[in-house]
Amino acid sequence: MKSLWNDQEAAKFSGDLAQRVYSSRLLGRDPSLVLHGGGNTSVKVKEINVFGEEEEILCVKGSGWDLETIEAAGFSPCRLAHLLRLAGLPALSDLQMAKELKGCLTNPAAPMPSVEAILHATLPGKFVDHTHADALISITNTAAGRQRVNEVYGDRVVCIPYVMPGFKLARLCAELFRQHSHPGTVGLVLMNHGLFSFGDTAKIAYERMIELASMAEDYLARNNAWKLPASTLTAPTSSHRAELAAFRRELSGAMGGPAILTTHSDAAALAFAQRADVGEISQQGPATPDHVIRTKRLPLVGRDLAAYRIAYSDYFTGLAAKSGQQLTMLDAAPRVIVDRELGVLTAGRTAKEASIASDIYHHTMDIVLRATALGGWKALPAADIFDVEYWDLEQAKLRGAGRAPGFAGEIALVTGAASGIGRACVDSLLKRGAAVVGLDINPAITSLCARPDFHGITCDLTQQASLAAALEEAVRKFGGLDMLVLNAGIFPPGATIAEMSLELWRKVMNINLDANFLLMREAHPLLKLAPNGGRVVVIGSKNVPAPGPGAAAYSASKAAVNQLARVAALEWGRDRIRINSLHPNMVFDTALWTPEILASRAKHYGLSVEDYKTNNVLKTEVSSRDVAELAAEMCGPLFAKTTAAQVPVDGGNDRVI
């Protein structure tokens, strides 16, 4: 591991807190040190209080901040004297501690200080750094872990046996540090948890952390436990979407609402899943208590997904029994599932949660494999994990969090999503919390939005194989399908029936009608498994109720889709799938309408462009966003009791009215 410290860069951060920000970000940049909000840092500074007295303040990372992107405002200023007095108490419950931490802030608007604040206060050195370095965790999660720590560091660190994060840990660290530290002590090893380093400058504390983590890496390398065997395994090509969607439904039931389930069939995940000892090494629990906090629940392993339903309930009942505690969890579902054929599956209440679980588990696999190579992976006992998962602070956080509103945990698929109404539908659905898959023949779809809850797939909807592959990819990405927005379509240049070629007619029918039929047929088994019932929205056209001359193919294709949707409403009602259509008209902010075409059409009717755009009963302009918002609402509770409706979104059209 290399130090990322750069004197020139560092010089731009003047003052203690700014230096703290700089080196915290360096730690945050390395995912093998800290992951997703893990780890914490502090600096001790002096402030003049309102009475004109100088006071020592511990600025410690506040909750909700990530080291990689932390700002000065992310550090919570706690009165140091108060923290040190707390450290001297014989006991303090977690909830009392949380109250005291909040109470000793000099700025009540600051974020909640890290639960490790008291521990930071008791350590010497102006700057204190704390990470969950992967290499150290590999070493401490082995049978002879304690002895190995000695081999790595000698007496340069004080080694603390595993205790759950919180007041007890802070107290134990303070006591053991007092007893065992000496002038040459540079840090603390927390068994099964991580490293602390400290120093009088940000650079010293940071570089000691890098040195300590590097020593752990070197130790693994010396013992042939650093380099992991390369794997060339690739994702299975057979179809798994039906069983994945069925499993996601089970999982959603256990999680108390729709869940995102992401399949990771990368070489590392498959190699791990196919190990003969995977059942043993994956079932011992997470690598550090921090990983329990950040992902909830533990991995499960099995051969076929159907078996998990029983597996996970048994597993958690067993865990509760072992710890001798009453089972009061909010949900019993796993967040990581290991499957021999598919690799690693991660679940979350949102796509972001599932992606965090994946990052953490990919690190966990490396940690486990290195520990195994070192002589045997041995994680925390089940009771300790149970304690972390159900400790007061975590439960309070969960109770406070509740379920996200809207479409959180649900998956929507939009066709023709790269531009116009389709693109607007993507935005409206994302805004409501859904994970969205966008399909388009335009390859630009794959880079439409870079966020964990969007996935773009290039797809030719008229090709059955391309469509099936897209659905398979969508389900592997998010776990199933709850909402389908049929938007893709073409509007060919005007032609009368007398002059229309059969080729053009067939092309329009192929895209506007046949492709939608195919997609509906293929999506039906998935929509049937939607935890809250499936929803389909058809982007129809004013041409359905009021066709126009010169648009025979377009009007006929849209009318046919409309009829298809009505039949689907009749057939799919028993599967709790509702299907509604909306009929937009004169939506000009799409790729179809260039300023030139707009000007020429306006001229054709003898109107100005402005009058042409608002040429409807309400004299209002209809935008893609208006259509998209209605489409999204049709998937929501407002339309929960409605199927086969056709709603115009056209500003009022006298031919339709």
Q: Output 166 or 194, the one with its CB closest to Zn ion.
A: 194
Question: Minimal distance in Å, beta carbon 191 to Zn ion?
Answer: 12
Q: How far is CA 475 from the centre of its chain?
A: 16
Report 186-245 residues binding Zn ion (CB under 5 A).
Answer: 194
Distance (Å, whole) CA 267 – CA 362: 11
Angle at CA of residue 622, ends 617 and 624, nearest 5°? 160
Nearest to 524, CA basis, from 582, 567, 460: 567
SS3 (DSSP) at 334:
coil
Q: Which is nearer to Zn ion, 287 or 552 (CB)?
A: 287
Tokens of 248: 């996601």
The answer to whether 272 touches 338, Cβ cutoff 8 Å, is: yes
- Residue 194 or 409: the one with the smaller Cβ distance to Zn ion is 194
State which residue, 163 or 301, has the beta carbon closest to Zn ion: 163
Q: Are strands 54-61 and 435-440 parallel, antiparallel or unpaired?
A: unpaired
> How many Å apart are CA 201 and CA 16, to the nearest integer?
8
Residue with smaller CB distance to Zn ion, 194 or 343: 194
How many residues belong to the site for Zn ion (CB under 5 A)?
Answer: 1
Question: Would you say 195 or 225 has its CB closer to Zn ion?
Answer: 195
- Nearer of residues 194 and 489 to Zn ion, judged by Cβ: 194
Find the shortest distance in angstroms from Cβ 119 to Zn ion.
Answer: 9
How many Å apart are CA 290 and CA 283, to the nearest integer? 17
SS3 content of the chain, % helix, strand, coil (to 5): 45, 15, 35
Choose between 77 and 194: whose C-beta lies nearer to Zn ion: 194
- Backbone phi and psi for residue 101, each to the nearest 5 degrees, phi listed first: -65, -40
Min separation Cβ 206 and Zn ion, Å: 17
Could you tell me the smallest distance in angstroms from the CB atom of residue 75 to Zn ion? 17
The rounded distance, in Å, linking the Cα atoms of 301 and 337 is: 6
Q: What one-letter code names the amino acid at 602?
A: A
Q: State the minimum distance, in angstroms, from the CB of residue 26 to Zn ion.
A: 18
Q: Which amino acid is it at 99? A: K
Task: Give the separation between CA 34 and CA 26, rounded to whole angstroms.
Answer: 10
Helices and strands, counts by H and E, the chain: 25, 18
141 neighbors 378 (Cβ within 8 angstroms): yes
Give least dist CB 34 to Zn ion, A: 9
Paired tokens of 515: 């492709």
Q: Which is nearer to Zn ion, 152 or 293 (CB)?
A: 293
Residue type, 195: L
Q: What's the min distance (Å) between Cβ of 118 and Zn ion? A: 13
H helix or E strand, kind and range, residue 323: helix 308-323
Out of 312, 361, 554, 612, the active site residue is: 554
Can 554 be counted among the known catalytic residues? yes
- Maximum distance among all Cα pairs of the chain, rounded to whole angstroms: 98
What pairs with residue 612 in β-bridges? none
| Residue 187 CA from chain centroid, whole number | 33
Half-sphere exposure of 407 (CA within 13 A, CB side): 30
Mark out the alpha helices in 432-551 (DSSP H runs). 464-478, 502-509, 515-527
Task: Provide the mask over 408-427, with x wherever binding to Zn ion is found by CB under 5 A and - wherever it is not.
Answer: --------------------
* Residue 292 CB, nearest approach to Zn ion (Å): 11
Radius of gyration of the chain from its Cα atoms, rounded to whole angstroms:
30
| Least gap, CB of 160 to Zn ion (angstroms) | 11
Residue with smaller CB distance to Zn ion, 40 or 263:
40
> Which residue is nearest to Zn ion, using beta carbons?
194
Task: Read off φ and ψ for residue 33, nearest 5 degrees.
Answer: -105, -50
Nearest to 213 by CA among 375, 367, 13, 384: 367
On whether the CB atoms of residues 370 and 226 are closer than 8 A, the answer is: yes
x/- mask, Zn ion, residues 352-391, rule CB under 5 A, reads: ----------------------------------------
Tokens of 540: 């129809």
Quick one: three-class SS letters along 222-274? HCCCCCCCCCCCCCCCCCCHHHHHHHHHHHHHHHCCCCEEEEECCHHHHHHHC
Report yes or no: 347 and 257 within 8 Å, Cβ to Cβ: no
Q: What are 76's two structure tokens?
A: 């919570």
Least distance from C-beta 520 to Zn ion, angstroms?
50
User: Could you tell me the smallest distance in angstroms from the CB atom of residue 132 to Zn ion?
Assistant: 6
Nearer to Zn ion, 190 or 426 (CB): 190
- The CB-of-94 to Zn ion minimum distance in angstroms stands at 15
Q: Please name the residues in contact with 183: beta carbons below 8 A apart, sequence gap of 6 or more.
A: none
**3-class DSSP state for residue 512?**
helix
DSSP SS3 for 338: strand
The residues in 167-196 that bind Zn ion, with binding defined as CB under 5 A, are 194
Give the torsion sign (CA, 178, 181, 183, 187). negative
Query: Which CB sits closer to Zn ion, 292 or 345?
Result: 292
Task: Write out the catalytic residue numbers.
Answer: 554
Contact positions vs Zn ion (CB under 5 A): 194
